[in-house]
Amino acid sequence: PEALIKLERAIANDENLQIEDVAEFVAQDPRMVAGLIELANSARYSMGTQIHDLSEAIMRIGLRDVRNLAHAINFQTSFKRKPPFSDAHYLKHALLSALVAQELAQGLKLDPSLAFLCSLMRDIGIYLLAMDDRDKYLEVIKKTDYDISKLPLAENDVFGTYHPLVGARLLQQWNFPVEVIMGVAFHHNPEKVDKKYQPYAYLTYLAEQGVFRLGFDNGVADITDDEREHPSESVMKALAYFELPLNQYDELSQKALLLSDSMGV
């Protein structure tokens, strides 16, 4: 997306970027303009008065959130073909996990924007594989028996690759930050990535699992009720990596859910 690419380059090259500069980039994409104005008038950001001006919307939302939300709006409006699974569940899970990642990152002293992008984009490879061959992806879903832990292996059996790698390759083509590319590529096996990228890989995994624990599937798979009651060994390992207590993890996930409700996500 041209407008987003220009915005990312501007953010990377200019720490003193002004609201007017951001508005100039965003204005090139009517979807983003409409989406940001709608969000600025949501319960999360509304100050009691309706606004219809893009610069005012950016000022109300804040530059950091505008960057994240512009990506979220682009992500949400990019699915022109319906996949062979619930796209509503898929999109809800992606957007909510991005907010969970943002909440987790703030407490773990990681970059909230990078965390948001990792989790927003982590499953884009699912959509790409499903659009490449709908029947094959239905075979994948059947093989997993709706169990998220079986998904990468089932994809590899059917396609010879799996969604984290497919998604990471696309993000590499789009010149996303390397932390995001690695976080996406290794979110199902964060212990295998280079140590300097492990924080974002583990965080992306925890954000995904946090949304499953809230009771939301991703349209393709889920965790079991027993895993909601008794977290898996891999979840406990990821929490131990950050020395994050389970109750605090669940509280941050719940906070993100309330935030998403206030934003109308």
Query: Is residue 124 located within the same domain as residue 206?
Result: yes
Query: Is residue 2 located within the same domain as residue 114?
Result: no
Query: Is residue 253 located within the same domain as residue 182?
Result: yes
For helices 87-108 and 198-214, angle between their N-to-C axes, nearest 10 degrees: 130
pLDDT of res. 82 = 86
Which tokens belong to 16? 């003193």
Cβ neighbours of 176 (radius 10 Å): 20
> Where residue 165 sits, what CATH number does that domain have?
1.10.3210.10
pLDDT of res. 188 = 97
Q: Would you say the C-alpha torsion 43, 250, 163, 98 has a positive or negative sign?
A: positive
Nearest-angstrom CA–CA distance, 228 and 50: 40
Nearest-angstrom CA–CA distance, 165 and 184: 8
pLDDT of res. 113 = 87
Query: Is residue 72 located within the same domain as residue 167?
Result: no
On whether the CB atoms of residues 104 and 255 are closer than 8 A, the answer is no
Mean pLDDT, rounded, of the chain:
90
Q: List CB contacts of 89: < 8 A, sequence separation 6 or more.
A: 216, 217, 218, 219
pLDDT of res. 98 = 93
Query: Is residue 95 located within the same domain as residue 63?
Result: no
Query: Is residue 105 located within the same domain as residue 175?
Result: yes
Question: For residue 91, what are the domain limits?
Answer: 80-263
pLDDT of res. 5 = 73
Q: What is the pLDDT of residues 65-111, one digit of tens each?
A: 888 888 888 777 777 778 899 999 999 999 999 999 999 999 899 99
Nearest-angstrom CA–CA distance, 73 and 191: 31
Query: Is residue 122 located within the same domain as residue 132?
Result: yes
On whether the CB atoms of residues 26 and 58 are closer than 8 A, the answer is yes
Query: Is residue 180 located within the same domain as residue 60?
Result: no
pLDDT of res. 173 = 86
Which residues of the chain are under the pLDDT cut of 50?
none
- The count of structural domains within the chain is 2
Residue 212 amino acid letter: F
